[in-house]
Amino acid sequence: MVDWIILAAISLVSASLAVQWLLPRTRQRGDNFGLSAPASLYDAVFLFDGDRLISHSDIALEGFEAVRDWQDLRRLLQRDFPSFPETPDLVRRDGTLVIPAIDCTVERDVLCEWIDGIVRVHLRDRSECPAPVQRDAQDPIRLAMEQAPYPVWLLDHQSNVRWCNAAYVALVRKVRGQDTDLTAPLFTGADGDARLGAKTRISISSEENDNKLWFDLTLVDHPEGHLCYAVDINAIVAAETAQRKFVQTMTKTFAQLSIGLAIFDRNRQLALFNPALIDLTTLPPDFLSCRPSLSSFFDRLRDQHMMPEPKNYRGWRNQMNDLLEAAEDGNYQETWSLPSGSVYSVSGRPHPDGAVAFLFEDITAEITLTRRFRSEMDLMQSVLDKLVDAIAVFGDDGTLAFTNRAYQQLWGDTGEAGFEPDTVLDVTRGWQEQCAASPILGEIRDFVEMRDNRAEWSSALRLRNGTNLTCTVSPMQNGATIVRFAADEHAMADTPIQQISA
C-alpha cells in the first residue's frame, strides 16, 4: 500500500513538471513564425530523450505532426534556423543554446535547454522573452550589423548562409522573390579562400529581368566560415559604362579624322593616337602602342625625316622644351616643310589633368594651291607691268583691285595697298585733281557700280599738263571692270563719248 502511495506521488510531480515544460503561450492570429510552411509553430515546446521525441505541446499543425525525432525537427527548422544543432549532444555540452533566425528582422528564436538528461526545444517570440535571456536591442554591435545599409551575411564551411542582416534579406527578396530560401547563397562563388580580404567585383541578375546588379564583395575569415560584405556599386558601374561608351564614340570619331592626333598624359607618355597619325608620320603602330615618351616620339619623327632637320641637336632639344611649354599654354602652332616636299601644320593644345595634345594636318595641297595662285598672280602682274597703257581693275564691290606700273607712273600712285581698299569714288577723285573738267569720270563711277546692261565704251580725257588720253572702260566677268588709259596726241579733250559695242 505504501509503495502505491509513493508511486502516485512521483507521478503527480512528473505530471506537474511536464505541464510546466509544455504549457504553451497564446497563439497570435496570422503569425507563421517566419517559417516556410503554410501554418507553423508559435511558442511550441518539444521534449527529446536523445534523438527520440518523447513529448510536445498540444499542437496539430500541418508539416509538424510527422516529427518523430531530432532530425525531423531539424529538417523543418533548417531553412529559417540554419544554426540549429545537428545533434542533441551539442545542447548537452553547452547546457543552453539560443538559435537566432537567419533573418534578423524576425523577432523569433529557438531556445534549447538540457534539463536532467532531457532536451527541451522551445520555439518562442524573442520580444516576450524575460530580460535575462533576451539580447540587448540597443547593443551597438548588433545595431551596426543588423541595420547596416549594405548586405552582410555569414557563410558556413558548407557555403550555406547562417546569418544575414536586413539589407541582405531585402536584396534576396528583391532578386528571388518574397518566398525564398535565405540559406541558399545569393552571391555564388563567394566562398573562395583566395579572395579573403580582397575586394572583388561581382554581379547578380534578377529572376524577373536580365538587369545586373553590381557589388564590391569582401570576405573576412570567421571561425564558422566567412563573414561577407557587399557594397552597391551600380552607380560606379553605370558611370564607367557611360565613360567607356563615350571613349568608344570618341575613338571612332578620331579614327575617321584625316588629322593626326597624339595625346600625351601628364607623365608625357603617349596615351591616345588615331590611324591618321600613322599615315602622316609613317611611325610603326607597335612603336606607338608601346606608349613612347614625348621625347622618344619626336626623336623618332626626326629619324624618319618627318620634321624639319634641326641645325644642331642641342638647339633642337631646347626647341622641343619650348614646344612643350607652348603646347601647355595652347600657343604652339608651326608649319613644317618636310624634305619630301610635304607641308604639315602642327599645333599643340593643353588638355585637362596636365595632358597635351598634338595635331598633325597635311596642308600640302593647300600650300601648293596657294603657291600656284601667287605664281599666277605674279605672272599676271608682270604681264600688266609690261604694257604701255595704264591699267586699273575694279572688283565687283567697286574697290580698286590692282594696277600696273604704267598706271602708277601716270597718276603718281605708289601701288601700296592700305588697310582699307580704295573705292572707285576715291580713285576718280584723285584722277579729277589731275584732269581738266570732264563728265566721263562720273560715267566711270556709274559704270563700275552697275550690274546690268554694261558694254565697253571709250572717251578722250585731257590732263592738266596738256597730255591727251584715251580712256577705255570694259566690263569683266563677275562684275569686275577694267579701265585703260592710252596716250593720244591727236584726241581732243572735248571729244564726245563713243559707244564701241552694245
C-alpha cell recorded at residue 77:
527548422
- Residue 310: is its pLDDT beyond 90? no
- Assign 441 to helix, strand or coil: helix
What are 407-428's pLDDT values in tens digits?
999 988 766 655 578 899 999 9
Q: How far is CA 431 from the centre of its chain?
A: 68
* Confidence tier at 390 by pLDDT (50, 70, 90): very high
Which residue has better confidence, 216 or 9? 216
Can you state the angle between helices 424-434 and 440-449, rounded to 10 degrees?
Answer: 170
* Confidence tier at 290 by pLDDT (50, 70, 90): very high
Output the pLDDT for position 45: 84
CA distance 390 to 406: 5
What are 109-153's pLDDT values in tens digits?
888 998 888 899 888 876 655 444 445 555 576 677 777 888 988
The count of other CB atoms within 10 Å of the CB of residue 317 is 14
Output the pLDDT for position 2: 42
For the chain, percent of residues with pLDDT exceeding 90: 18
> Is 381-499 in the same CATH topology as 263-362?
yes
Can you state the angle between helices 313-328 and 294-303, rounded to 10 degrees?
Answer: 130
Identity of residue 317: R
Output the pLDDT for position 239: 92
> What's the average model confidence in pLDDT over 59-80?
74
Output the pLDDT for position 313: 64
- Residue 105: is its pLDDT beyond 80? no
Identity of residue 28: Q
Residue 495: DSSP 8-state: P
What are 221-257's pLDDT values in tens digits?
888 888 889 999 999 999 999 988 888 887 788 788 8
> What's the average model confidence in pLDDT over 188-199?
66
466: Cβ contacts below 8 Å, ≥ 6 apart: none
Output the pLDDT for position 92: 84
473: Cβ contacts below 8 Å, ≥ 6 apart: 443, 444, 447, 456, 457, 458, 481, 482, 483
Nearest to 456 by CA among 437, 443, 438, 469: 443
> What's the average model confidence in pLDDT over 484-499?
59
Output the pLDDT for position 127: 60
Determine the topology of domain 143-236 in CATH.
Answer: Beta-Lactamase (3.30.450)
Buried-exposed string 324-347: b where 16+ CB fall within 10 A, e elsewhere: beebbeeebeeeeebeeeebbbbb
CATH (one of 1.10.600, 3.30.450, 3.40.50, 3.40.190) for 2-134: 3.30.450
Output the pLDDT for position 3: 47
- Residue 77: is its pLDDT beyond 70? yes
Determine the topology of domain 381-499 in CATH.
Answer: Beta-Lactamase (3.30.450)
Residue 436: DSSP 8-state: -
Residue 356's φ and ψ, nearest 5 degrees, are -135, 135
Place of cell 547578380: 204
- Assign 485 to helix, strand or coil: strand
What are 446-464's pLDDT values in tens digits?
999 888 888 999 999 889 8
Residue 441's φ and ψ, nearest 5 degrees, are -65, -40
- Residue 502: is its pLDDT beyond 60? no
Q: Which of 28-42, 270-284, 381-395 has the lowest mean pLDDT?
A: 28-42
* Confidence tier at 389 by pLDDT (50, 70, 90): very high
Q: Which of 36-40, 258-262, 311-315, 474-478 has the lowest mean pLDDT?
A: 36-40
Nearest to 348 by CA among 364, 361, 362, 367: 361
Burial-class residue 270 by CB neighbours within 10 Å (0-12, 13-18, 19+): buried
C-alpha cell recorded at residue 306:
618627318
Determine the topology of domain 263-362 in CATH.
Answer: Beta-Lactamase (3.30.450)
Sequence spans of domains, the chain: 2-134, 143-236, 263-362, 381-499
CA distance 332 to 325: 8
CA distance 472 to 391: 10
Nearest to 404 by CA among 430, 382, 434: 382
> What's the average model confidence in pLDDT over 71-79?
84
DSSP H stretches of helix in 450-487: none
For the chain, percent of residues with pLDDT exceeding 70: 77
CA distance 373 to 380: 10
Q: What is the mean pLDDT of the chain?
A: 78
Cα angle for residues 375, 380, 385 (degrees, 5° grid): 125
Residue 405's φ and ψ, nearest 5 degrees, are -65, -40
